[in-house]
Amino acid sequence: MKPVAIYDTTLRDGAQGEGISFSAAGKLRIAEALDAFGVDYIEGGYAASNPKDMAFFREAKKLKLGHAKLAAFGSTRRSGVPVGEDPGVAAMLEADTPACTFFGKSWLLHVRDVLRTTAEENLAMIADTVRALKGQGREVVYDAEHFFDGYKDNPEYALSTLQAAAGAGADVVVLCDTNGGTLPWEVGDITETVIRALGCPVGIHTHNDSECGVANSIEAIRRGAQHVQGTINGFGERCGNANLCSIIPNLILKMGRATAIGDRLPRLRDLSRFVHELANQRPNPKEPFTGESAFAHKAGMHVDGVNKNPRSFEHIEPTAVGNQRRVLISELSGTSNVFLKAVEMGLQVEKKSPEVKEILKELEKLERQGYEFEAAEASFRMLIQKVLKAHRPFFDLLGYRVIVEKRGPQEPIVSEATIKVAVQGQAYHTVGEGDGPVDALNAALRAALTRPYPAIAEVKLTDYRVRILDPEEATAAQTRVLIESTDGHETWGTVGVSGNLIEASWEALVDSVEYKLFLDERRKGKHAHG
């Protein structure tokens, strides 16, 4: 059985997703990452659509790709225009890529109402474009747009469009579920029929409007397709394209299909995060395979089962895709969760020890007050340290004051915080300003602590979330604050709860900086021990 060709269209189709935009430099970096991962084809952009895409193709010639072929995207020649005079075809050739991918119409509705031409002319447009590209030595991928809708409307004509491309020499014809509304059994039956009728390789390109993009792609491959198109993280127009981060591991780990990815599959999560970062998108923790929650266990029974045999509650080994198992702590936790979390954090405790039960008891008490530790593992670490009487405060608060002042209706609001802390008997008194009271308090705290602890300057707040726990209490409601911080090496979350937003924020801020100092202390200890 031939390997499945992986065709990535993140830089073209993925960039059409709402809120997705790649810089020119970012596109080049993604292309290099896709090549290093083992993708077979990288679609760089729509050659005739905008100068940025053509600039990418010019710069991409300088890339030293080890495996992947770059593909320029375009469409058939225009109706009534000789192929040699068509600007879109000329742009694909100008991109000077080893492969060219172009789309044509499969659905008579589009031929009549969108192209406003005849069925015969549409077939000629497809064949002429294939011949023109093949005549210049290009590998040709023909994307049959709206194929499944067209086939269900008029199977004979839809097939004739594929035959026009195949007969003119297309290297692969790709069946596109452009509207994303076809269901898996339809995709499977139609794909199998097409393969029997054609004498060339068949590919699949699906969208996710019915939440079936990945399932449709897999079913097409199961029924004989040899080429699959998609995007990293499922980026794409409307509800997105089929997600290659799910398709690839399913092909390799579940179906035993060969791909050029080979033993690089453990790089999948890093690739997913890298593309999220360059698209300036926050990763969805619920993403299958690559998401932070993909192998997170919360219920005590599940955690106990995974500890005894990971296969009991995990469909694959997390490291196979570069991910890791996580044990969550919440009101659903049992002693197994607390024990495994403590072990994960490097603490020496026994599962049946009184300390584990005491930690669980304290956890349940705090969650009744509104604390939530699933996204605040650093605060949970501090909690364990305190229960085990192993916590050493890195500083003592002597007091703080926060002032918010507006000096006139047209004047900006001024936020200022004054803070006084003591470190080993030495007092530090600082002032900070910020966009709001919490920002000012954070600035003052960091200014005070960077003197005795210069490493605090490395800490950056990457997220700040506020949740009102009992909105019926209006302005007297309890508030939960979750803060995410990073030092460039690790990222951690902390939590604070209070009826006062400033106090809740202060709790989370203190845990954040203390956890940083704790991490540095542990790193030094390991280094000294080694």
Structure tokens at 488: 């460039």
Structure tokens at 251: 């092909």
Which residue is it, tokens 């294939």? 130
Instruction: List pLDDT tens digits, range 204-254.
Output: 999 999 999 999 999 999 999 999 999 999 999 999 999 999 999 999 999
Residue 413's DSSP bridge partners are 406
Question: Which of 92-101, 194-203, 287-296 is predicted with the least confidence, judged by mean pLDDT?
Answer: 287-296
Structure tokens at 456: 């605090």
Alpha carbon 415 to its chain centroid, in Å, reads 36
Q: Is pLDDT of 81 > 60? A: yes
In this predicted structure, what is the pLDDT of residue 527? Answer: 39
Residue 464, domain member (yes or no): no
**CATH of residue 154:** 3.20.20.70
Total number of domains in the chain: 2
Instruction: List pLDDT tens digits, range 401-430.
Output: 999 988 788 888 889 999 999 998 899 999
Residues 133 and 221 both lie in one domain? yes
CB 247 within 8 A of CB 225: no
Residues 18 and 130 both lie in one domain? yes
Residue 374, domain member (yes or no): no
In this predicted structure, what is the pLDDT of residue 434? Answer: 86
Task: Domain of residue 91: give its range.
Answer: 5-278
Q: 368, 393, 422: which is the final residue of a domain? A: 368
Q: Helix/strand/coil (H, E, C) string of 233-274? A: HHCCCCCCECEHHHHHHHHHHHCCCCCCCHHHHHHHHHHHHH
Distances (CA, A) of 72 to 60, 98, 254, 478: 11, 9, 32, 55
Instruction: List pLDDT tens digits, range 109-164.
Output: 999 999 899 999 999 999 999 999 999 999 999 999 999 999 999 999 999 999 99
Single out the residue of 190, 217, 288 nearest to residue 246, CA to CA.
288
Residue 201, domain member (yes or no): yes
Single out the residue of 466, 471, 502 nearest to residue 372, CA to CA.
466
Residue 229 DSSP symbol: E
For residue 421, is it left (φ>0), alpha (ψ between -120 and 50) or beta? beta
Instruction: List pLDDT tens digits, range 434-481.
Output: 888 888 999 999 999 998 999 888 888 888 888 877 666 655 568 888
Structure tokens at 127: 């064949």
Residues 142 and 269 both lie in one domain? yes
Give pTM, 2 decimals. 0.72
